[in-house]
Amino acid sequence: MRLIDENGTQVGIIGVREALAMAEERGFDLVEVAPNAVPPVCRLLDYGKFRYEQSQKEREARRNQKQADVKQIRLMPKTADHDITTKANQAKKFLLQGDKVKFNVRFRGREMAHPDIGRKMLEDIAEQLRDLAVVEQKPLMEGRVLSLLLAPNPKVLKAAQQAQKDRLKQAQPAEAAATAEPGAADELLDEELDEEDELDNDAGEFDDDEELDEEDELADDDDDDDDETATRK
């Protein structure tokens, strides 16, 4: 094996027994760090301390990584152009935060006969957002809903992750609390991230459910009127 000592200096290629004896003599563990190398590479180190440092780095990396949520924005075939622009602007905010956006066009009754209207609407939205997003899923009909999934492009996603990292750094006046009570700063940062996620999820429901329910009732009333007229005839 190729051995590296506790100071990072290469000892050279030695036998396993000799390396174990050296580790025991110096009070360190013999840890294999590159098993696929030829010959394998081992280091003298404090394994407990090494695992602790690794876990801290992994935790910090997870904290700095922006988790992409999928925000839902609902549309209808008769949605006006200015409303579509408003919803596209809302989608821009989500994309700049590093989140994915799913546009759903919901069809009712006789609207199902014209899916091309919804498809054209989604294609226009994708074109409006092409500077920020890539199409992850092309318009796809799922029951009565036509869906388009957009994801932030690599440049936008990287900027969102950096902004998240900067916010976390600014939120570290909790260093004093962390010194007095280990883990306190981590708990504070986790709470702040949870609060941000809750706000984002609230914003993700962009349409008013009550308004959609009222429109469903109106559509049902229209269908009932048509049925009554047909019966009289």
Is the preceding omega at residue 39 within 30 degrees of 0, hence cis?
Answer: yes
Q: Cα–Cα distance between 230 and 227 in angstroms, integer? A: 5
Q: Is the pTM of this model over 0.75?
A: no
DSSP 113: G
Residue type present at position 93: K
pLDDT tens per residue, range 63-113: 665 566 899 999 999 999 899 999 999 999 999 988 999 999 999 999 999
pLDDT tens per residue, range 101-126: 999 999 999 999 989 999 999 999 99
Among 30, 223, 221, 28, residue whose Cα is nearest residue 112: 223
pLDDT of res. 183? 52
Domains, the chain, in order of start with CATH, read 2-64 (3.10.20.80)
